[in-house]
Amino acid sequence: MTSSIPAVTTARAEGSALQAVLLDMDGTLVDTEGFWWKAESEVFAELGHILEEEHRQIVIGGPMTRSVNHLIDVTGVQLTLAELSVLINKRFAELISHGVPLMPGARRLLTELAAHEVPTALVSASHRHIIDTVLRSLGPENFALSVAGDEVEHTKPHPDPYLLAAAGLGADPARCVVVEDTATGVASGEAAGCRVVAVPSLVPIAPGPGRTIVGSLEEVDLAFLRSLVTAAH
């Protein structure tokens, strides 16, 4: 599996101002958001609380601390954040243990980045054991490193995960492109000083300065990513 701390500095992409591509996981590369909601719904149902669909739009794409705290507030369940996080992560791991579907265009993009030796990192709010499970579907060889939500003091929307990934790749954040599917992830990438491509999955993302919004990863290739950084410099 890839490590969150690379042993050596990865070579930067040649022939372009682009130095690295930093990719979110859930909802961006893999279609797992439904699995998360199913895990949360099943755990809360077993505790006697049925989650209404309206809460799905609130918890999607956020760090587990925010999502679970919201569900505790609306249900009044008598378990702690830590206890529920363990139960939900365990259920989610069971659901994805046989593989997860990739988002349209994800496999092609990863293959292209690898073929051109573009330094690439997987940056997720999910915990390490979840990332390692999903990497079996994504291909660990496609990433120089990965950053998990339980490996940083402040996860998304704070800039820490993307700053750590850029530093691990020896890249200037201003010459990195972040690809995200939620407003929380977009905020994290932008706070880190990266160019951001938003690929909304279930919740729309509003336009913003320095932010590029596309319909799917089918619209994203290496030439497109390079153009974003070149234009900015």
What pLDDT score was predicted for residue 186? 96
What pLDDT score was predicted for residue 193? 96
Residues of the chain whose pLDDT is less than 70?
A: 1-16, 60-63, 233
Half-sphere exposure of 27 (CA within 13 A, CB side): 25
Q: How far apart are CA 179 and CA 101, in angstroms?
A: 18
Omega into 104 within 30° of 0, i.e. cis? no
Q: How far apart are CA 38 and CA 26, in angstroms?
A: 14
* CB-CB neighbours of 5 under 10 Å: 9
What pLDDT score was predicted for residue 190? 97
What pLDDT score was predicted for residue 12? 46
Q: Which residues pair with 123 in a beta bridge?
A: 147
What pLDDT score was predicted for residue 16? 55
Please name the residues in contact with 53: beta carbons below 8 A apart, sequence gap of 6 or more.
none
What pLDDT score was predicted for residue 15? 46
What pLDDT score was predicted for residue 108? 98
What pLDDT score was predicted for residue 228? 95
What pLDDT score was predicted for residue 5? 38
